Structure formats: C-alpha cells, structure tokens
Amino acid sequence: MEEKQFSLGDLVNLNVAKYADEIVNISVTATQESDLRKSLGSLAAQWQKETFVLVKHQRKIVNDNSDKNKGIDKEAYKLDGVDAIQAALDESL
C-alpha cells in the first residue's frame, strides 16, 4: 500500500469531520487488533518453550473378567511438574 501524505487543509476539504465516529471506531479496532496480535504472539512464544514430561504413574492389571482384557498389564502415565505448568499458565493470563 502506497503512503499518501495530506495536510489538515486536505482533510477539511474532504469533509472528514462528518466521518469522525467511523474513523475513531476503525482506529480503536485496529489498535485493539494490534495489541491482541502482540499478546497472542508473546503467549505462543512462551508456551512453545514449555516442556511437558510424562512419567509412569502405576502399573495395574486389568481384571474385568473379559477374555479380551484378562491379565493385560496396563501402564498409566501422569503429567510431571504440574505446579510449574500451572504457574506458567497463571502468568500467561
């Protein structure tokens, strides 16, 4: 987009005052969108650095009396470092 320079006289001649509400609304919306993009970029960068570690929680034997699952050793995992993740989440909000 090419930049165009104009003077106050040009604006007066174009009668932009009658569009003041629309201009203000566009300006406010554009500023809010810019702020939101910056915030989302910062948030995405922060969470891309976070690591999530799964650790074995416990092992249990499935005894549901079905031939399909009888005696199958199932492993369960949990998310390690939940407190640090919660702190990072709190900071990002």
Digit-coded pLDDT (tens) for 12-70: 999 999 999 999 999 999 999 999 999 999 888 888 888 888 888 766 555 556 655 55
Residue ranges of domains in the chain: 1-49, 51-93
- Global pTM? 0.53
43 backbone dihedrals φ, ψ, rounded to 5°: -65, -45
Whose CA is closest to 47, among 89, 93, 82, 81? 89
Question: Can you read off the two tokens belonging to residue 82?
Answer: 């939940």
- What integer pLDDT is reported at residue 64 of this predicted model? 59
Residues 80-90: tens digit of each pLDDT: 888 888 888 88
